[in-house]
Structure formats: structure tokens, C-alpha cells
């Protein structure tokens, strides 16, 4: 079997849990997740663990916030007038919304709500969390020149375009 290294395509099955053992996300029941090693397609604390691994290898990794989605940044929490959300149906705490910035869209989470104001948090929902991954390597292969140009995997577990 091919050994994963920089620029290898890796397909993995994974389950990720928070510090209390609650499942946050899993590929179970879906196709594996595919990424190119070393391009930052996935969080660094997980990515580097695949170097030297091969098809069939299974392992667990604990990823601290600094190697994952970062610490929570209070500057990304903002209070905005509720009038700005006039078009949103059933606005509620925990709701995730797409916000348009100058050249990007970002996802914000509603964390508080009053008659006149809405507090939104643009931190990644997993920021500040230590994550425990159960991972299985489904396949390792060479990235195609086109995949390297695009910076992501095509086909199973990757982009379909
Ligand atoms: Zn592409």
C-alpha cells in the first residue's frame, strides 16, 4: 500500500467527539472525506497525523484548539440591530446564518436575542474546543495534476465539478 506523504490524496472515515464524548460529526453513513495532505484542506492537528499512514490504518487523535479551529475570539461576537434580520423567519438562538462580507460569505451563529438586538458569533462553532477524532484510512493515492492545481480532491469524498 502507498504511504501517505505531502501531496498524497487520503480518503478517511472519521468520527469526532468533544471533550465530553458527544459525537460532533461523523462520516458514518456517508462517503469518506478526501483531502490532499499538506494543503490545509483539514485542520493541522489532524492533517499531520496522516503522514506515514497507509490504507487500513486506524488511530485516534486529540486536537487542541490551537491545532484545530483556534481559540474563541471575542472580537468576532457582535451586537447588531434586530431590524437587520427582518427577512429571517423564526429567528432564534442557535440559528446559523450566512453573512455577506466584502469578498466572502461567513457563517454566524445567533447566541442572544432581544426585542431590538441580535448577538451573533462569527467564531467557528468548534473554536475553543478540544476534539477527539477516531479515524480510519480508507485509501491513499497520488493526487492528479488537476487536483494539485485546484488544491482539492476530485471524485469520491471530494469536489464534484
Ligand atoms: Zn477542482
Q: What are phi and psi of 147, to 5 degrees?
A: -65, -40
Cα 93 from Cα 58, distance rounded (Å): 38
Q: In 3D, which of 6, 9, 3, 1 has the Cα closest to residue 153?
A: 9
- Tell me how far the alpha carbon of residue 70 lies from the centroid of ligand 1, in angstroms: 27
Per-residue pLDDT of the chain (161 residues; tens, 9 = 90+): 899 999 999 999 999 999 899 999 999 999 999 999 999 999 999 999 999 999 999 999 999 999 999 999 999 999 999 999 888 899 999 999 987 778 788 889 999 999 999 999 999 889 999 999 999 999 999 999 999 999 999 999 999 88
33 Cα to the center of ligand 1, angstroms: 15
pTM here is: 0.81
Give distance in angstroms: CA of 61 to centre of ligand 1: 28
Query: How far apart (Å, rounded) are the C-alpha atoms in residues 77 and 58?
Result: 38
Three-class SS state of 114: coil
Q: How many helices, marked H, and strands, marked E, lie in the chain?
A: 2, 9
Amino acid at each position: 500500500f502507498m504511504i501517505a506523504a505531502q501531496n498524497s490524496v487520503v480518503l478517511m472515515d472519521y468520527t469526532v467527539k468533544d471533550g465530553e464524548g458527544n459525537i460532533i460529526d461523523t462520516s458514518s453513513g456517508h462517503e469518506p472525506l478526501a483531502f490532499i495532505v499538506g494543503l490545509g484542506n483539514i485542520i493541522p492537528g489532524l492533517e499531520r497525523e496522516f503522514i506515514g499512514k497507509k490504507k487500513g490504518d486506524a488511530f485516534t487523535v486529540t486536537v487542541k484548539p490551537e491545532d484545530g479551529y483556534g481559540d474563541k475570539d471575542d472580537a468576532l461576537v457582535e451586537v447588531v440591530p434586530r431590524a437587520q434580520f427582518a427577512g429571517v423567519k423564526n429567528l432564534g438562538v442557535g440559528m446559523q446564518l450566512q453573512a455577506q462580507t466584502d469578498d466572502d460569505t461567513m457563517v454566524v451563529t445567533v447566541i442572544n436575542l432581544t426585542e431590538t438586538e441580535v448577538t451573533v458569533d462569527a467564531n467557528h462553532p468548534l473554536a475553543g474546543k478540544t476534539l477527539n477524532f477516531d479515524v480510519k484510512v480508507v485509501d491513499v493515492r497520488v493526487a492528479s495534476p488537476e487536483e494539485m492545481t485546484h488544491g482539492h480532491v476530485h471524485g469520491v469524498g471530494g469536489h464534484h465539478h
